[in-house]
Structure formats: C-alpha cells, structure tokens
C-alpha cells in the first residue's frame, strides 16, 4: 500500500475542498472505523460535518486503520493536488463516469466522484502523472536486427499479468511483497511503463494517544518508470536499485521481444576520461583512420531537491575551456557527450554520442570499428578484466 501520510487530511480546510455530502459518501465504507474512534459519522448531517474531529482521527491513525481507506485518501489527495480539472473530466467522460453538473465543483470533488465510480481509473491517472514527471533514466540498447522495421510493442492485459507474476516472485524473495502492477502509456513512437510495487517493510517508533510509545510497521510503495523508444530501439530505466533495473530488462525483454537478454545490460561506456585526462583524451594518433577528434557537447545533471539539467555545446569545448577545463568539468553527473570525428578517407566529419552506461549513437555504421578502437584506447570503453575485446556489440542504428 502507499506510504501513509496521516497529515494528508489533517487540516480541516483540506476537507472543505470536498462537498459535505460527497465527503460523507466517500467515508461511508469506513464508518465502523470512525465509530471505533468515538466518531459516529451517520449521526451528523451534511450541513454540519465534524471536519475538525474527522481530521483528528486521520491525523492520529491507530493500528486498525483500514488499508483501503489509506489507499483512497492517498489517491484522491494526489490527483486533487497534481491533476488539472479538464484532464480528470476528460478521463471520466471517456470512461462513462457521470460527474455532477455543478459549476462550483472542485478538483477534489471530481477526484472523489471518480474514485467512488472506478477506483482503478484514478490510480491509473496517478500512475501516468508519475511516469511522465520522471527525468533521470539509464539507457540500454536493444538488439533489434538493423533491417527490421521499428515497431511499438503492445502490452495486453495478459502480457502485463505474465510480467507482474514473474516480477512478484523476485519482489517476494527480496522482501518487497507481491501484487505489483504495470501501467502502460503509449505515445507516438514511445511507450511509458510504470511499475508500482512494494518496498521492504519499515518499522519505526510512533507516538500513541495515551502518551506511550508504540511501533509502526508498514510497507512503503515504490514507482519505477521505463521508456521504450521504438525508433532507436533503446529503453530508459528509472529504478530504485540495480537489482530492480536488471529485473525489468530481463522481464520486459522476454515478454515483449522474446529474450531476456534483448537489452544489453553491460555498463560499457564511461565519460570519466574527460575529467581525468582533459584535452589529452582527444588524442588519436595511435588509431588508424582517424584524422581528428573534437569534444563538441556534453550534458550533466546537478543533484538537489529539484535536479537541474545542463547542456553545453561548442565547436571545440576543450579549446573554449583552455586551461580552465578541469574546473569547468568538475561537479555534476555526465549524461552524455558528443564527439566530432574527422576521417582520413573522408572530407565530412561525423558525430558520435556516448551515453553511459551502454549507448553509442553513430552517424554511419561503417565508422563503428575504428571509433570503437579509439574509445577503447582513450578509456571511454570500460573493458572488464579478462573480457574479450573483440566480442560482438551492436550499436544503435542511425540516430
């Protein structure tokens, strides 16, 4: 279940965002819980709802708090706080849910009405919002044959159920519980996938109404997001742990493309040489066929409460940075770097973009062999000890 924040409805003013009659109908399934807390909702009229008392119960949940009430409060609060009225109304209309034609209705009123009619629709709306808000992904190349046309995979209910069952086995072993869910959101040539699952149980102290100390024991909820791009045949993964990332690549590769090894999971590329060697990382005299290399673009993410993305472009960044290159490249986490290559047998420069951990975008496939030799020579291609440097590796098609 979602991590319960009892302060979601602790302020009576928040409860006032929901029409009294609608609030009473919303809380009706849990009237016995409120009665056990000395609050008889049935005895109150909609003209005089005890908002302070209701908020008091929600602010101080006891061990018997109903899990389904926690879920309902969580999703109504999240969608009422982050969704636009027109988006919720459109979703309700598409699902055949009749929303009261009240011009004074609030977003919270609409959220409650959708929950009362189709709770799963509100959960899906929340899942979609979470999926499209994520921005920090690790990308992995697929192994689609170069001559095969791009095709967006279709995730039916049966396929989703198969994937969920397989993931649940892993989650259970890793003490994360079962009953994960997959939400798919196709858009154009991409498909967003949100995986909702449990986290390891959390135990912490809590303060009880009688002034004594107690223990709260619950399972928080995690949302992981993946984006598959059918044009480039790559998948971006935003997950909490490396184990979860490995799980998704195997399960989604098997279910959607017939092989759990469809996505290359090796951490093949690194951009550390840019910081460690500076201009020397552009050396090329030892690689046959290359006449010159320029560092022309990089992106980096700065950590913080709200992460910041920075992109720098220049005809030659190291020439621009000059002696300050080390200072200019310090800090943040590299997301990608683009290099311009001049070849001895061609008058036209061609670019290559490296995105750790294992994405390389070549302008022309025939450049692959010589550029890979340069990447290995300069340390951008991290070869594990004992690995065969000639092993096959298929890069992305023309970007």
Domains held by the chain: number? 3
Q: What are the residue ranges of helices labelled H in the chain? A: 12-15, 20-27, 31-36, 51-59, 67-82, 85-94, 107-117, 119-133, 157-173, 242-257, 272-277, 317-321, 325-329, 368-378
Residue 390 confidence (pLDDT) = 38
389 belongs to a structural domain: no
Provide the 3-class DSSP secondary structure of residue 109.
helix
pLDDT (tens digit per residue) in 296-305? 999 999 988 7
Question: Are 180 and 103 within one domain?
Answer: no
390 belongs to a structural domain: no
Question: Are 239 and 286 within one domain?
Answer: no
Question: Are 280 and 372 within one domain?
Answer: yes
Question: Are 316 and 292 within one domain?
Answer: yes
- Angle at which helices 242-257 and 157-173 pack, to 10 degrees? 150
Question: Are 16 and 35 within one domain?
Answer: yes
219 belongs to a structural domain: yes
Residue 393 clears pLDDT 50, i.e. is over it: no
Closest CA to 221 of 207, 251, 237, 200: 200
Closest CA to 343 of 378, 318, 319, 374: 374
84 belongs to a structural domain: yes
* pLDDT band at residue 1 under the 50/70/90 scheme: very low
Domain end (from 257, 291, 310): 257
Question: Are 311 and 330 within one domain?
Answer: yes
Residues spanned by the domain of 358: 272-378
Domain end (from 75, 106, 129): 129
| Residues 284 and 293 sit within 8 Å (Cβ to Cβ) | yes
CA 164 from chain center: how many Å? Answer: 17
pLDDT (tens digit per residue) in 135-178? 557 778 888 887 788 889 999 999 999 999 999 999 999 989 99
pLDDT (tens digit per residue) in 251-279? 999 999 999 999 987 777 899 999 999 99
343 belongs to a structural domain: yes
280 belongs to a structural domain: yes
Residue 63 clears pLDDT 80, i.e. is over it: no
Residues 198-209, mean pLDDT to the nearest whole number: 75
pLDDT (tens digit per residue) in 316-332? 999 999 999 999 999 99
265 belongs to a structural domain: no
Residue 208 confidence (pLDDT) = 66
Domain end (from 100, 129, 158): 129
Question: Are 291 and 374 within one domain?
Answer: yes
What is the residue-averaged pLDDT of the chain?
84
Residue 169 confidence (pLDDT) = 95
353 belongs to a structural domain: yes
């Amino acid at each position: 279940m979602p991590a319960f924040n009892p302060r979601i409805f602790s302020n009576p003013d928040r409860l006032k965002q929901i029409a009294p009659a609608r609030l009473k109908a919303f809380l009706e399934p849990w009237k016995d819980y409120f009665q056990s807390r000395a609050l008889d909702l049935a005895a109150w009229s909609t003209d005089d709802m005890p908002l302070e008392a209701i908020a008091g119960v929600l602010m101080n949940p006891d061990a018997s708090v109903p899990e389904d009430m926690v879920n309902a409060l969580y999703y109504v609060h999240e969608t009422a706080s982050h969704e636009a009225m027109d988006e919720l109304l459109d979703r309700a209309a598409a699902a055949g849910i009749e929303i009261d034609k009240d011009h004074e209705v609030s977003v919270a009123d609409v959220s409650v009405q959708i929950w009362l009619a189709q709770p799963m629709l509100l959960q899906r709306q929340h899942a979609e919002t979470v999926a499209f808000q994520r921005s920090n992904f690790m990308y992995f190349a697929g192994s689609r044959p170069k001559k095969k046309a791009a095709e967006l995979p279709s995730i039916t209910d049966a396929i989703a159920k198969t994937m969920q069952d397989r993931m649940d086995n892993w989650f259970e072993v890793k003490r994360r519980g079962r009953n994960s869910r997959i939400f798919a959101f196709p858009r154009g040539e991409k498909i967003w996938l949100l995986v909702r699952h449990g986290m390891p149980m959390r135990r912490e102290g809590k303060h009880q109404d009688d002034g004594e100390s107690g223990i709260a024991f619950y399972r928080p909820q995690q949302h992981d997001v993946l984006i598959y791009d059918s044009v480039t045949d790559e998948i971006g993964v935003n997950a909490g742990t490396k184990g979860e990332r490995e799980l998704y690549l195997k399960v989604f590769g098997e279910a959607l493309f017939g092989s759990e090894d469809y996505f290359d999971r090796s951490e093949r590329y690194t951009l550390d040489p840019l910081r460690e060697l500076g201009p020397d990382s552009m050396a090329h005299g030892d690689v046959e066929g290359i006449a010159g290399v320029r560092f022309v673009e990089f992106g980096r993410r700065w950590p913080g409460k709200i992460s910041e993305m920075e992109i720098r472009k220049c005809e030659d960044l190291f020439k621009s940075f000059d002696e300050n290159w080390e200072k200019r490249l310090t800090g943040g986490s590299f997301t990608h770097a683009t290099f311009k290559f001049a070849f001895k047998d061609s008058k036209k420069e061609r670019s290559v973009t490296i995105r750790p951990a294992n994405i390389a975008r070549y302008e022309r496939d025939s450049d692959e062999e010589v550029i890979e030799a340069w990447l290995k020579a300069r340390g951008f291609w991290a070869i594990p000890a004992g690995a065969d440097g000639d092993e096959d590796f298929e890069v992305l098609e023309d970007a």
